[in-house]
Amino acid sequence: LQTYCTTVSLSPIYRHTVPLSPIYRHTVPLSPIYRHTVPLYHCPLSTYILYHCHLSTYILYHCHLSTDILYHCPLSTDILYHCITVTYLHTYCITVPYLQTYCITVPYLHTYCITVTYLHTYCTTVTYLHTYCITVPYLHTYCITVTYLQTYCITVPYLHTYCITVPYLQTYCITVPYLHTYCITVSLSPIYIHTVPL
């Protein structure tokens, strides 16, 4: 599910643009429930703050075979909501891959770029000595050699950039690191068709 209500610049696989409409403008009240803050980089005002709170959920499943499942681990819900709050009144929201919602309250109209770095961990559990490869989102492939029902993890960094474009053509950027864990379980039968795709 990808919902966009402004101009969004994503990684090449997702790149497309949706024009901003006034109907998407609204204010976002701030609350002390927000867990922590991260400063907005390269901003003329020190009051520009990224707020992180827990207001939405996602879980990702991806199957190669019936026994080869890439899933969000652990299976409890992860709740992510991010707001960039600045000094004036207009707020714009976008929902980007992994169902993370970003809200930007902008002074007048400028260009704001949200640069989000994800750190993904992928795990595999197998039953025999063999080399398996995990093809993770965005078409990156990582290989590991495993043996005897041991679980191995691969940590992979990604970089996503989301942009909200409005007049005056000034750019503000933030970088937000996250940690997600994904596991892939590989079950080997006596006669199996193929391993996890390379």
Peptide bond into 39 cis (omega under 30): no
The answer to whether residue 142 sits within a structural domain is yes
The answer to whether residue 195 sits within a structural domain is no
Q: What is the pLDDT of residues 26-68, one digit of tens each?
A: 333 323 222 223 322 222 222 223 322 222 222 222 222 222 2
Strand order in the sheet with 151-164: 61-65, 68-72, 171-186, 111-125, 151-164
| Residue 185 pLDDT | 43
Name the pTM for this structure: 0.17
The answer to whether residue 196 sits within a structural domain is no
The answer to whether residue 18 sits within a structural domain is yes
The answer to whether residue 193 sits within a structural domain is no
State the DSSP string of the chain.
--EESS-----GGG-------GGG-B-----TT--EEEEPBT-SSTT-EEEEEEEEEE--EEEEETTEEEEESS-S-EEEEEEEE-SSSEEEEEEEGGGEEEEEEESSS-EEEEEEEEEEEEEEE-SSSEEEEEEEGGGEEEEEEE-SS-EEEEEEEEEEEEEE--TT--EEEEEEEEEEEEEEEE---SS-S--S--
pLDDT over 50 at 145, yes or no: no
The answer to whether residue 108 sits within a structural domain is yes
Q: What is the pLDDT of residues 62-113, one digit of tens each?
A: 222 222 222 222 222 222 223 333 333 344 455 444 445 555 544 443 333 4
The answer to whether residue 138 sits within a structural domain is yes
Q: Per-residue confidence at 9, pLDDT binned at 50, 70, 90? A: very low
| Residue 101 pLDDT | 53
Its domain, for residue 157, covers: 3-186
Token pair in block for residue 134: 């995990």
Q: What is the pLDDT of residues 11-30, one digit of tens each?
A: 333 323 333 333 222 333 32
The answer to whether residue 143 sits within a structural domain is yes
Structurally, the chain folds into a number of domains equal to 1
